[in-house]
Each structure stands twice: as structure tokens, then as C-alpha cells.
Structure 1
Amino acid sequence: MIIRPIEVEDAEKILKLNKRIDASGFMLHEPGERKTTACQQKEAIEKITLEERSVFFVAEADGHLTGFIAAFGGKLKRNKHSAYLALGVHDGFYGQGIATSLITKVFEWADDTDISRLELTVIKDNEKAIKLYQKMGFQIEGEKVHSLMIDGQPANEYYMYKLV
């Protein structure tokens, strides 16, 4: 497995991976809700690669994308020290250290980019993800009450952060 920056040529592969990860029920998109086209995905990849304080890494094994992490950096003087993270791993590759490797790569990137705060949200019921983030040094900062509606029921998210 390798961790590398995403490339425009990965557009269709990342779309396929995102749809698989969305099916887990733990992402913002509902299963089947993502309608992004390959052309739109290419544009999004181009945009993030041009942003000075954002990055998008993918995990790849045998030519297939197995996971991703995106860090979206602040654009203003007051928040340019921080970045918001989004992480996803293909369920067929759970337990292989992919998420840990992706997060570690972002820690290295943050250090090189003078990012001192990483933050994310995670569905409160996603205990596996919460344990992973805590293992990687993230702390629960607060709770977003009824921030999502999942299957018609309100769900809470945790705000988590790590100072790097």
C-alpha cells in the first residue's frame, strides 16, 4: 500500500471509492446520494491541488484506491493555522492500518504547512472511528446535537481536534 497525493486521473476511482464508503452509513452522504460526475470530480481535484493550505491523499493497493484523507485549510488570517479533515476507508480493507497511515501522512503535511490544529466531526455512534481518532491523539471538544438526520432520526456528532 502506498499513500500519495490524489491526481486528476484518479477521478473515477475516487468516485467509486466514495460511493462504497458512503454505503457504510457513517459519512455525510446517504448511501446512493452522491451524484458527482467524473468531470465534476476532476474539477474538484484540480481545485484542491491548487489550494496552498489544503491537501488530498489517497491510499492505493494493487492499482485500487482503498482510502482517502482530505485536509481543508483555513483561508483567513484567523483560521489559516487550522484544517478540517475528512477520512474514509473501503470496508474491505478495515484493520490494515490504512486510516492510521493516512492520518500520519496528514500530521506530516500539517507540520510542513504550519498547520497547528486539525479538526473533524464524527457521528457519535461510530465508536470504531472515535477510538481510532483518540488513539491518534484527537480529543472530543464538544457535541453537535441533532446535527444530522439518519433514517429519519436525529443523530449527534462529536467535534474532535488535535493540536500538532
Structure 2
Amino acid sequence: MHIRKLKEEDAEQFLELNKQLDDTGYMLYDPGERQTSVENQRKGIARMIDNPSNHFLVAVENESLIGFIAAFRGNLNRNKHSAYLVLGVDKNYRGRGIASMLFEEIFFWSRNHGITRLELTVIKHNQPAFNLYSKMGFILEGEKIHSLMIEGEPVNEYYMYKLM
């Protein structure tokens, strides 16, 4: 397994990975809701990687994408010291330290780019993710009440942060 930057050529595999992650119920999209074409995914990747405020890494095993982490840095003087993170790991590869390795790469990038605050959100009932984020040094900052609707029911999210 190795970690590298996301490339436009990854569009088809990245789209499939995201659809699989959507099916877990822990990502922003509902299962089956993501209707992006491979070409639109390729264009989206091009926009993301062209933006110097973004840092997007993928975990690859046997030429297959098995996980990713994205950092979206603020663009203004008042928030360019912070970055919002999104993480996803293929359910078949969880528990193998891949997420921890992705985080370590983002921590390295953050320190080298003047980012002093990392933040993320996690669905309140996603205890495994909450435990991972805590293990990686993220601290519970607050709870956003009824921030999501999942299967017609309101669900809360935790806001977490890590100072670098």
C-alpha cells in the first residue's frame, strides 16, 4: 500500500470508491444519491487539484484506490491557517492503519504549509470514526443538532478539531 496525490486518471476508481463509501451511511451522500458521471468526476478532480488550497491524497493497493483524505484550506487571511478534512477508507480495508497513515501525511503537509488548525465533522453515532479521530488527536469541539436528515430522521454531528 502506498499514498500519493489524487490524479485526474483516478476519476473512475475514485467515483466507485465514493459510491461504496456512500453505501455505508456515514458520508454526506445517501446511498445511491451520487449521480456524477466519470467525466464530471474527472473535471471535479481537475478543479480540486488545480486549487493550491486543497491537498488530496489517495491510498493505493495493487493499483486500486482503497482510501482518501482531502484537506480544504481556507482562502482568506482570517481562515487560511485552518483546513477542513474529509476521510474515507474502503470498508474492506478498515482496521489496517490506512486512515492513520493518511492522517499522518496530512499532518506533515499541514505543518509545512502553515496550517495550525485541522477540523472535521462526524455523525454522532459513528463511534468507530469518532474513536479514530480521538486517537489521532482530534478534540470534540461541539455538537451540531439535527444537522443531517438520515432516513427521514434528524441526526446530530460532532465538530472536532486538532491544533498543530
Which runs of structure 1 show a deviation greater than 6 angstroms over 4 or more consecutive aligned residues? Answer: none
Give the letter aligned to residue 57 of structure 1. L
Structure 1 residue runs without a partner (length 5+): none
1:56-88 deviations in Å (ceiling 9; x for gaps): 100000011000011101011100000000000
1:64-114 deviations in Å (ceiling 9; x for gaps): 100001110101110000000000010011111111111111101111111
Which residue is equivalent to 2:22? 22
> Percent identity over the alignment?
54
Q: Is the 8 A contact 1:53 1:113 kept in 2?
A: no
Q: CA deviation at 1:18?
A: 0.3
Q: Using the alignment, how far apart are the partners of 1:119 and 1:95 within structure 2?
A: 22
Give the letter aligned to residue 44 of structure 2. A
Which residue is equivalent to 2:155? 155
**TM norm structure 1:** 0.98
Q: CA deviation at 1:46?
A: 1.1
Q: Is the 8 A contact 1:69 1:87 kept in 2?
A: yes
**TM norm structure 2:** 0.98
Structure 2 residue runs without a partner (length 5+): none
Q: Is the 8 A contact 1:82 1:115 kept in 2?
A: yes
- Alpha-carbon RMSD across the aligned residues, in angstroms, is 0.7
Q: Using the alignment, how far apart are the partners of 2:111 and 2:101 within structure 1?
A: 16
Which residue is equivalent to 1:41? 41
Q: CA deviation at 1:139?
A: 0.3
Q: SS where residue 107 of structure 1 aligns?
A: helix
